[in-house]
Amino acid sequence: FHSLAWSDGMLPIECGEAIEGADLQAAVLAALGIEPGNRVLEIGTGTGYTAAVMSRLASRIVTIDRYKTLTEQAKQRFEALGIGNVIVRQADGSNGLPNEGPFDRIVAWAAFDSLPRFLLDQLSSGGVVIAPIGPEEGEQVLAKLTKVGSRFEREDIGIVRLQPILRSVASVI
């Protein structure tokens, strides 16, 4: 993967999954505007790369993935790198982590057919959520929502093609 590290587009990883290219990850991280002291929820751990980057910006990252293989590998990488402020869980990302919020920032690396209410409910006041919204097949809008009091301001960042969110936890891999 070393030669592909800075390429655009999706990169295949274990469990038949893929991670976003560095260009999209950088754009999302910039749009999130992570600040020191922020608590971040990442839905879709993948290799753990984005959580590792965010760990340098925020006080606490909780990253979840449905695949045990991916979460175990990410834990090993964080340990080897001496990253102590990232918590990795195998969990169903289609519901977020209702018992752990609120979060100051939430990022989802899988597409939802419509904006799920739970993302907004688990967001702190002034918080930001970025998630792809749209059909399983085809293009989705990468939406940024900022919680302002009891309402939300939406900004569309761009068009993406990401895998749809899969409900449940993988039982085997």
Q: What integer best gives the mean pLDDT of the chain?
A: 84
Element (H or E) spanning 64, and its range? strand 60-65
- What is d(CA 50, CA 46) in angstroms, rounded to the nearest whole number? 9
Contact 31, 25 (CB under 8 A): no
Sequence-ordered list of residues with C-beta below 8 angstroms from that of 171, at least 6 positions apart, any chain? none
Where exactly are the structural domains of the chain? Answer: 13-160
What is the pLDDT at residue 1?
45
Q: What is the pLDDT of residues 14-66, one digit of tens each?
A: 554 555 656 677 888 999 999 999 999 999 887 788 899 999 999 999 999 98
Q: What is the pLDDT of residues 101-129, one digit of tens each?
A: 899 999 998 899 988 888 888 999 999 99
Contact 5, 22 (CB under 8 A): yes
Q: Which of the four CATH numbers 3.90.1170.40, 3.40.50.150, 3.40.50.1220, 3.30.1180.20 does domain 13-160 have? A: 3.40.50.150
